[in-house]
Structure formats: C-alpha cells, structure tokens
Structure 1
C-alpha cells in the first residue's frame, strides 16, 4: 500500500457505532473543553472537521446565536450530521455543512471565529489547514483549537494489556500521517501559520477514588475510544482480536478498582487571525 493511500485512512473508521461514539465522547468531555471557550460575541462560526455534528450540537446549545458552517472531508459523516441536526430541530438557517478539504478551503464568506476539535491529529501537514482557515477569517477573528497529547495517558496500576495496545494504536496513527502528540505543537503550528496572540492551556482528567462515578464513566469512554481503532488495526495485522479483548478486559478491571487512577491531558489553543 503506498503512502498516499495510507494518508487518507482514519483510525476510528466510519461505522455507525463509531458515529455514535463521537456523540458520546462529546458529552463526556464537554465541560473540560467548553468551560474555557467563549463564543458569546461570535455570530458566524467556521467549524473545521465537523464530522457527525457532535461538537456542532454542543456549540449551538451553549451559544444559541451562532450560525455554523461545518467543513468535513468525509461525505458519510455529513449525511449523519444532517440527520443529527434535523433530529435536534436545526435547519440551514443555523447550520450548513460543506464537503471540502480543509487544506484548500473555498468558502463564500469570511467568519467571525473558527473552531477545531480532535481534527489536526488526523491530518498530515496541519499547518496547511491552519493557513487555509486563516484565509477565511475576518481580521482579528479568534480560532479555538482542542487537540490530543496522547503521551500523557497514564493509569494506576499500569496494565501492559492497555499500554501495549495504546502504543500500537498511536504508532499506527503516525504511520498513516497523523500525529497523536499534535497538541504539544499547537503553539509552533499557529505561529508558523501566521496567527497572533497565541495562548495555550492544558486540560483533561486526573481521576481517583475521590471521583468514583466520573472515573468509571471516563474509563468506559476511553475503552470505547481505544476499541474504535480495533477494526483497522486487526485488518492491518497490527493487533489480534485476542489483544483487543485483553485490552478491554483490563480497562474493565481498572474501572472496577476503587484505587485505580485515570490521567490524561489535552491541549487547547486560542489565537487571532
């Protein structure tokens, strides 16, 4: 398989179960992300990598004045997003999805702000995306980005079944052109793309016996996240079905342990065009 073909693979896949996981993910991790974003003075928002509309739904609920243009590369995701928005009662007057490559946007207007969440990790040469977005923002418009920093994932006790799988999962993402540590690079990427007043913060989870319900919920979510990569990892011969099962069982054990710890950090950036 040549590198060009591999570069367009998506580790999580597009199955219906994955499309629903994206909505679950958005709800589990909503507060750590959105409590630090302010779009209260924004009307026209550009969402890059809008997927199935999982984040779009939260954006519209939190800031009802928004009119969102979602850009998505995969047409299957757009069809699901349209279904989700229709079920929530949102029409084209509130949200519109456009099928385009974010590296070379061609949009009919310039926007008051841009939002990118869990997207750059999947894209080779993310600076091209940031430059393309900047060209479609009004002067002084804000961009808000939330991205992964997967090297920070830690559990106590450490379970080889989990950590060995996690390494293979992340190595595969690198092999298809992604970057599971891209959050750590957001400052430099934004600087290279020409943005101003760049600010970074670290968010995430540090859960132990003091937050038993939230910890169990996050362990379940993380197990589903890792499992979402299983079909393509099995298909590529990188893991076996048995390894996936052992990872899932180990995550269930961690979830049930009162003394277990879950730790993970993501990185958020704000900057201005």
Structure 2
C-alpha cells in the first residue's frame, strides 16, 4: 500500500509482488498465532496490497468476510489473481481502491487488520482516525508493525549494517517510519481506542535452528533487496553495495554459528 504523495519503498514490480506472498508465509505463525477473530464477522483490512495477508485471514478464519482497502489498483488486480489461484472463496472478499486516510465506506465492520502498512505513510495516525469511522463500537483492531532498530546479525558485518542504515534513512526520506511499531500504543490512545495491549514478536535464531535460520536469512535478504532498485535510482546506494549485502547475508545464512534477531510490535485494541 502507498498513499497519495508518498513513494513506496519496495516498489510494485512483479518480483516484489511475488516476494510479498512468500514473505507472508515465512512469518505467518509469528503474526497470526496470536490473533483471534473468532467472534468477528466483517473485517476491514487496511493496505491489502497483493492479498498476501488476506489469503491467510481467509484461511484461518473461514467465517470472516473481508473488505480490503488499497491505494494502488495494480495491487488490487494482483490480489484478485493471487487469491483465485489459491482457491479462495472470492465471494468472501471485496477490494476498494481508496486512500486509507480518507475512508468513505458504505459498510461498517466489527474488526480491522493492519500489517506492515503504517511504516510506509507520512501520518499514520490519520489512518487510525479515519478507520474509526468505519468500525462498530467495540470492534477489534490488530496492527502489526516494524521496529527496525532491533535488527541484529552475528557476526556483525559492516556490509549489512551499512546497507540497513541507508535503507532505513531512505524510508524516512520518502515519508515512512521504520520505528513506527514502538509508537502504536500512543497513537491508538490519541485516537480514542481502548483496552490497548502490545506484544513483541519476531525471531531469535541461532545454531539450534539451522533450517529455520537459513529460511529467515533468505527472506530478510530479499526484503532488504526489495528497496534496492529505488535507492540505486536515486543515487543513495550503489549496485556494488547491494551485491555486497546480498553476498554477506548468504554467507551468514550458511554459517553454523551465525545469529539472526529481529522484533516487531503487534497491538490489539478496541473501538470505543
């Protein structure tokens, strides 16, 4: 998802659309094992993108009907293809092309889901405020967001730390916030949500979990690489620096004693 006036860090190329589907599967249990929409019927998904999270929601909660809000029509078109190819019941899902900061919806919802969206927008609190107008009283809201300063790999390699610093600085320069997860509680409070709870989720992988660690190193290398095209195009990084990061991530992936660590923040709250 992007918003009017904002660049999207990861871009909309087909390879990125495919990466989003793969990423959702790699991290699914870390996010969805802690979500319960069993008492909900109509869910609003903000920033539905290519349907990566939508497919998981449909599969895990077969009683839900879902409305996905997405700013980019090309993402909606891809989402419909992705969900159809997964055998999803398309009558349970609809997509609306809108700016999530100015929602104008005919339905109201008893649940909302936001995942990896607020990091990409200039005023995330405006989305949380706009979303309230589409929610019933006591509607359940679950938001999962990044906290990129927690990323750590061992052995520490400058090829990775240097790239990650540029990556996050670039996201800030185009209006995003790579630390927005830490601010979820305050933003939800300011917007009038209640019963706010926060938890930290993520990865801490070492020699005890070799296969999982290899999978996550590959996933994270691809995530970092997804911003490379835009950063190279704007001259903030070179192709050589990108190649160096990728090669080093592969080296750490195959190193028995390497470590991967990262935390995100998941907020659960309710509409007043």
Fold shared by both chains (TM-score > 0.5): yes
Quote the residue 2:17 is aligned against: 19
> When the two structures are superposed, what TM-score results if normalisation uses the length of structure 1?
0.97
Unaligned runs of 5+ in 2: none
Shift of 1:39: 0.7
In the TM superposition, 1:199-210 aligns within 5 A as 199-210=197-208
Paired residues of 2:103 and 2:130 also in contact (CA < 8 A): yes
Structure 2 counterpart SS, 1:93: helix
Summarize deviations over 1:133-168 as a string: whole Å, max 9, x none.
Answer: 111000000100000000000001011001100000
Structure 2 counterpart SS, 1:109: coil
Shift of 1:91: 4.9
Summarize deviations over 1:92-143 as a string: whole Å, max 9, x none.
Answer: 4210000000000001111010000000000111110001111100000010
Paired residues of 2:70 and 2:76 also in contact (CA < 8 A): yes
CA–CA distance in structure 1, aligned partners of residues 89 and 196 of structure 2: 34
User: Are 2:45 and 1:47 aligned?
Assistant: yes
CA–CA distance in structure 2, aligned partners of residues 225 and 159 of structure 1: 18
Aligned with residue 33 of structure 1, among 31, 34, 39: 31
Quote the residue 1:90 is aligned against: 88
> When the two structures are superposed, what TM-score results if normalisation uses the length of structure 2?
0.97
Provide the alpha-carbon RMSD of the alignment: 1.1
In the TM superposition, 1:101-140 aligns within 5 A as 101-140=99-138
Quote the residue 1:262 is aligned against: 260
Quote the residue 1:186 is aligned against: 184
Unaligned runs of 5+ in 1: none
Aligned with residue 142 of structure 2, among 132, 144, 148: 144
Quote the residue 1:166 is aligned against: 164
Aligned with residue 74 of structure 2, among 67, 73, 76: 76
Quote the residue 1:224 is aligned against: 222
CA–CA distance in structure 1, aligned partners of residues 33 and 183 of structure 2: 22
CA–CA distance in structure 1, aligned partners of residues 269 and 46 of structure 2: 15
User: Are 2:245 and 1:243 aligned?
Assistant: no
Structure 1 counterpart SS, 2:75: helix
Quote the residue 2:60 is aligned against: 62
CA–CA distance in structure 2, aligned partners of residues 268 and 245 of structure 1: 32
CA–CA distance in structure 2, aligned partners of residues 108 and 92 of structure 1: 20
Summarize deviations over 1:204-233 as a string: whole Å, max 9, x none.
Answer: 000000000000000000000000000000
Alignment: residue pair count = 269
Shift of 1:193: 1.0
